[in-house]
Structure formats: C-alpha cells, structure tokens
Amino acid sequence: MTDALTRVRAAYARIKAVDRPEIWIDLRPQEEVEAEARAVDAGEGLPLAGRVFAVKGNIDVTGLPTTAGCPAYAYHPDEDAPVVAGLRAAGAIVLGTTNLDQFATGLVGTRSPHGAVRNAHDPSRISGGSSSGSAVAVALGLVDFALGTDTAGSGRVPAAFNGIVGLKPTRGLVPTTGVVPACASLDCVTVFARTLPEAEQALSHMATGTPPALPGRAPGPWRIAVPPLDQLGELDEGWAEAYEAAVAQLSASGAEIRTLDLTPFTEAAAMLYEGAFVAERYTAVGSFVDKLLTEGGEGLDPTVAGIITRARDIPAHQLYADMDRLSSLRTRALTELSDADALLLPTTPGHPTLAEVAAAPLSTNARLGRFTNSTNLFDLAAVAVPAGEVNGLPFGVMLIGPAFTDERLARMAGLLQPETRLAVVGAHLSGQPLNPQLLGLGARLERTTTTAAAYRLYALRTTPPKPGLVHVGKEGAAIETEIWRLAAEGLGRLLSTLPRPMTLGSVELADGSRIPGFLCEPAALTDAEDITRHGSWRNYLKRRGH
C-alpha cells in the first residue's frame, strides 16, 4: 500500500474511532480522497506528499460549501483559496472543513449551529475559538495540520487549550483571498500543528508575500520581554506559576529577560470589541445577518448575531477617535518592545468550562482575549506553543514580535520545545508503513547509522510486519538504524500509542552513545525468526521480495 493512501485510510479510521462529529462541517467522501492520494503517490518530489489537513469552514475548498459556520450563508467556491491551493500543490490532501464560532466571531468554540467543539483533553471544557474544529482535529491526531484564521486570537487560543502549536503570521505574508472576512483589515490565515517544524513547513507553502529585509539585530542572546506579574491580571489557579516556569526555561536556555509595561497592549485589547473596530464585522456580513433575522434567523447563533447587529449603529466619529487612540497605544507598545526581540505572555488568562461560557458568554469570551486581541491591531506576528500542564490540562504561552519577525519568533519558541532523538530499525523507517506516525509528529530524519555490535534482530508475527530488536551483548551484531529528531512531547505521544510487544528503551549506537529507541519484549521472540544476518530490516524485506 502506498504512503499517501496509507495515511488517508488511517486518518479516516481514526476519525471514525474518535467519534467527534462536532469537529467537522463537511468531511469529503473517503473514496474521493483515496483517489487523490493515489495521484499524489504517482507524483515525484512533492514536499508535503501524503500529509492530510483540515480547513476552517470560512476558507474556500473546491467541492465543499463555504459556510463560515452558518448553513444559510453557504456558497460553492469555483476554486481553492490560495492558501489551500499552495498546500495541495505541495502534495497535502484536504479531508474536510471544520467547525468554528460562527462568522469567526468568538474565542470559545461554542457559537455554532453544528454544536460546541469540546476540548481534546477534557470534554467538559471549551476547545477555544473561533478555529475550534481545526485545533481539535490536530490535537486528536485526525490530521497532520490544519488551517485556522486569527483576528483576535483565534489561531492561538485553541492551540493553547488543546496543547498544540499555533502560528499567526504577519498580516500580508499569507493571502486572505478566498476567506470569509471577520474584520478584513485584521484577518490572518493561521496554521495548527503538533510541532513547530511541521507548522513552519506548512506555512512555507502558504506564504506568497516576500518579507522585507529586516535591520540586523545586535549580536547576543535573544532578548525577551515580560511584564510584571501584577499586570497580567487575574489568572486561573496555577497559571502564574506555569508562566514563571516558562520564563525561567527561556532564561536557562540563554535568553535575556527584560521587563516591559504591558498597559498599552491590554488597553488596545479592550478596544477591539468595546470600541468602534467591531463595526468592521458588520461590514463583512451585517447585511446578510439583518436579512436572515427578518426571515426568522434560523441557523444564526444569537450571541454572534447580537455582536454583529449592534456594530451597525457605531458612529463614524467614534471610529476616528479610536483610530487616534490606537495609534498612540501602538507607538507606546512598539517603544516598549524596541529593545526586545519578543514579548512572552500566557496565551490566555484561564481555561473555562462549557458551563461557564454558557452562563456568561460575553464576559467569558472577553477575558480570553486579554493578551491576544492587540496583536493584529498593532500589526505584530505571534506564535503560540505548549508550555507544560496545569492541573492535568495544557498550558500555553505565546511569543509576540514585530511584523515579519516570524522566523525569529519560531526560533525563540523552539527553546520551549526541547527535542530528543529516537533510534528506529523497523516499521518506522523511511518509506515503511509506520513512518507516517513520525512525520505526523514533526519528526526529522537526522542520519542513518548502526547500533553497537550487541543486538539481534527478529521478524515478529505482527500486523503490519515489524522487527524486534534485542540487546544480547557479545553474541550480537550491528543493525542498520535511522536516527530521527522530534519534540520530547511528541515522543511521549508516540510512547502512549505503542502496542505490545514493542517497548521504548536505551539503544547503544556504533559511536558508543545511547538514545531512546524501539526494542522488543523478550516473550515475543518465542516464534519469531532471527534475521540478524541480514543486517537490517530493509535487507530482510528485499530478500523476502517485499
């Protein structure tokens, strides 16, 4: 079975097993997607060959309706949005469109006629919005990556709540053509993935803008700004400590920590919904919402409809006054950032339950945007990454920096995502059936080497076929091994799904170093064939005619 086809079939099996229908608005027929996978497999040199992805339901995908979470709004696009087209041209395969806060209005993931998208780790809590379905699809391993949008934080809040990465590029770097606007002057298309490398790879095939040459930064360690804790306001229990731990980790990694006044950022954040800027949401879909309300409002989320219709009556003079105030706040904010490469913040102040959002939909949502709302108003770039757990749930932080410092931000965020190495000898090797598991975690092949001459290799009676590696000492031989690099968190995910008789242990390499690698429980060797003489799993398969 070919690589892309294998991955597509595995994805649909996973979707069925997980049984989270609220994630999707439209899922493409499996037969249609399998045909596309066969065409991808027939091609050569496609950098994203076989990667499967999901698309937020306000972004155009040919063959599927674009609804923005409102069935009555649906239209059928003649072509893919450029961001989707770029990914497909690179070999990535769309599975479907995902649920969202209707018209991308919200940070909660509950404002949809398709139902609330529940959190990937705790179904009693919100997934975060508006890009809720895309984030949860990634977190649950249904897709390799997914597209969202971000106006007020929708590409970052769901990332934090579901323990994944969210890249919000500089406005203009990625085209928004083929995207139903929320606030057209602020909207960005974003990427969710389980690791930074995978998110960056996807983004590279979406960007059409050419970043301007940036002035060279002064040599030395990364300079990261943080506010005094009292300026963060009320945080959920344990979140201040988790944030301080992230600051300490960056400092321990060599970054210089500097203090910053957060006031202009939080004051601007409050303006996004409390001021006149929300009027742009009425410009985007207000006439449609008004018309649908006169017809009974079927399919309209009442909270979303209220936000959009109230924006209709904001006077023009308030907009100009708010623009003047925003300009002043932006100058203050950029001055605060002028001697730093980035600002580190918790992505949100807390993580509410579905019940809390239902009880207070507006105030709960407003709290979630305290740290994210100002980013696009100030024309900044951002990346949200996991930074541990609090009370068993993901905790996330984000790094915010000047426009077109996207690559720098990713490098700094990488300091919070420690990597490890993994020794692979069998079904996870390049081109083998289980290799997509590694690729889906953002793993990268570092080199091919051998183990120390202390191992024996056995062909196990498993499906799919795989070998078992066992340390035997002097009676052993050197076995061909691939060394892969991946995030430590990704290795934990892999271990949690590892079936018996496979285990993870310390593997000694030819150079004497030891790294984690796949080994085998001795009990599985009872009826297994010793294939050590072949020197590698690949050689054994060749001799068998596979």
Count of other CB atoms within 10 angstroms of residue 366: 18
Enumerate the β-bridge partners of residue 451: 509
Q: Classify domain 420-543 by CATH architecture.
A: Roll (3.10)
Positions marked active-site: 56, 130, 154
E-assigned strand segments in 403-479 = 419-424, 444-450, 455-459, 467-471
> The domain 3-268+324-417 is classified under which CATH number: 3.10.20.520, 3.20.130.10, 1.10.730.10, 3.90.1300.10?
3.90.1300.10
E-assigned strand segments in 246-371 = 256-259, 342-346
Residue 391 near residue 485, CB atoms below 8 Å: no
What pLDDT does 100 receive? 98
What b/e string do you get for 470-482 counting C-beta neighbours within 10 Å, with b at 16 or more?
beeeeebbbbbbb
Q: Phi and psi at residue 321, in whole multiples of 5°? A: -65, -40
Pairing of the two strands 165-168 and 188-193: antiparallel
Count of other CB atoms within 10 angstroms of residue 241: 12
Within 275-315, residue ranges assigned H as helices are 279-294, 302-310
What pLDDT does 546 receive? 60
Query: How is the chain split into domains, by residue range?
Result: 3-268+324-417, 420-543
- pLDDT truncated to tens, each residue of the chain (546 aa)? 358 998 899 899 999 999 999 999 999 999 999 999 999 999 888 999 989 999 999 999 999 999 999 999 999 999 999 999 999 999 999 999 999 999 999 999 999 999 999 999 999 999 999 999 999 999 998 999 999 999 999 999 999 999 999 999 999 999 999 999 999 999 999 999 988 888 999 999 998 877 887 777 777 799 999 999 999 999 999 999 999 999 999 999 889 999 999 999 999 999 999 899 999 999 999 999 999 999 999 999 999 999 999 999 999 999 999 999 999 999 999 999 999 999 999 999 999 999 999 999 999 999 999 999 999 999 999 999 999 999 999 999 999 999 999 999 998 998 898 778 999 999 999 988 888 888 777 777 889 999 999 999 999 988 888 999 999 998 999 999 999 988 776 787 787 778 888 888 999 999 888 999 999 988 888 889 999 999 999 999 998 876
What pLDDT does 485 receive? 85
Residue the block writes with tokens 């002043």: 328
What pLDDT does 216 receive? 75
Tokens of 382: 């951002």
> Which residues make Cβ contacts (< 8 Å) with residue 459, sequence separation at least 6?
465, 467, 528, 529, 531, 540
How far is 344 from 247, CA to CA, in rounded Å? 8
Amino acid occupying residue 166: G
What pLDDT does 1 receive? 36
What pLDDT does 544 receive? 83
Residue 420 near residue 147, CB atoms below 8 Å: no
What pLDDT does 523 receive? 83
What b/e string do you get for 127-165 counting C-beta neighbours within 10 Å, with b at 16 or more?
bbbbbbbbbbbbbbbbbbbbbbbbbbbbbbbbbbbbbbb
